Amino acid sequence: MHHLPPLARFGGLLATDLRDVTSDPSALETQGFWAVVADFEGRLVCARFGDVRTEPVPPPAPGGWRGPTAGEWTSSLDRAAYTAGVRTVRRRIAAGEVYQANLCRVLSAPLPDPAGADVDALTALLALGNPAPYAGTVRLPGHGVEVATASPELFLRRTGRTVESGPIKGTGRAPEDLLEKDHAENVMIVDLVRNDLGRVCATGSVTVPALCAVEPHPGLVHLVSTVRGELAPGAGWPELLAATFPPGSVTGAPKSSALRVIEELETVPRGPYCGGIGWVDADRGTGELAVGIRTFWIDRGAAGAVLRFGTGAGITWGSDPEREWDETELKAARLLAVASGVQQTTGVQQTMGRATR
């Protein structure tokens, strides 16, 4: 696979000519254009590219991506384990340990042609089948990073000293599916994001320009809020990431308690899923990192290559375990169909194969 050159693609930007790779966030304050992938567990990869140009995502090439067959996906938590996890989170909420926690599972399937598997070819398919505002590819085979994202969620946008986050909480097929629970959850996370940004922003500068706006995406709708602030003097990317990572919308509130619950209930690392994926232009003082949801990544080992994809839901006291499982299915169904090269089927189960059983 190493014959494919490193590249990064974000929307209409294509970055090639890899110059430098580091795990030091202060590099993002120096110079040049950086692709950034931060795993949920904290591993950071920053890759500086020498050539950045505007180039639209190419249409999918015939045979460019060979995905797993639809029935081969397995889930780190099956339905019984996931719904049991939801019940555990509700007990923790009743005990006052946490207000809400995001419970996730990672789906995996072997790739039929590991040597020919290119995440950028998958990105081309996703652009067609599930267009997303923060879509992108980061392909660094020599550094164990091969990610294709169709993320709808803004983690951090920076323009000079102004920073903005766009947490999503609340998902349904249509606006009328969004419950009171979804609004309550969104407001709770907005509060957490305000606190996180408040740790690195000038006192009094943090505002909420939009609260619980309904945003349509392919096959579903989300409730999205916007939180904005002005960085305090001396604060840059290292301080901003330290204050806000991992993203509040995919952890829960309070964040430290939610992380403890996640650590206990989830059986595998999330990796780039629920981390941060995006770019920083240090020369212009701009950057945009998405929350790594609706994201595929390739794990390579001696035995071949596995494609992974994460899905999850925010659990509150008002959560119904079966309904939360169904939400994780809804979020995954369309994208797994795209990655497996099959059209969207009527029932999620047909797409998901073993993952639902």
- Six-digit token pair at 281? 């232009």
**Cα–Cα dist 34/284, whole Å:** 12
Placement of tokens 């580091």 in the chain = 22
Q: How far is CA 61 from the centre of its chain?
A: 26
End-to-end Cα spacing for the chain: 33
Q: How far apart are CA 117 and CA 298, in angstroms?
A: 9
For the chain, state the CA radius of gyration: 19
**Smallest Cα–Cα separation from 14: which of 33, 37, 31, 29?**
33
Distance CA 250, CA 37 (A): 16
Is the backbone peptide bond immediately before 254 cis, with ω within 30 degrees of 0?
yes
Query: Distance of alpha carbon 98 from its chain centroid, rounded?
Result: 23
CA distance readout (Å), 213 to 128, 203, 208, 216, 329: 25, 26, 12, 10, 23
Q: Tokens 């020369």 — which residue?
A: 283
Residues assigned a catalytic role: 153, 169
341: alpha, beta or left? (left if phi > 0; alpha if psi -120 to 50): left
Tell me the C-alpha distance between 270 and 146, whole Å: 14
Phi and psi at residue 188, to the nearest 5°: -60, -45
3-state secondary structure of 75: strand
Q: Report d(CA 113, CA 228) in Å as an integer.
A: 44
Structure tokens at 58: 């190419």
Backbone angles phi, psi at 343, to 5 degrees: -70, 160
DSSP codes of every residue in 13-33: EEEEEEEEEES-GGGGGSSSE
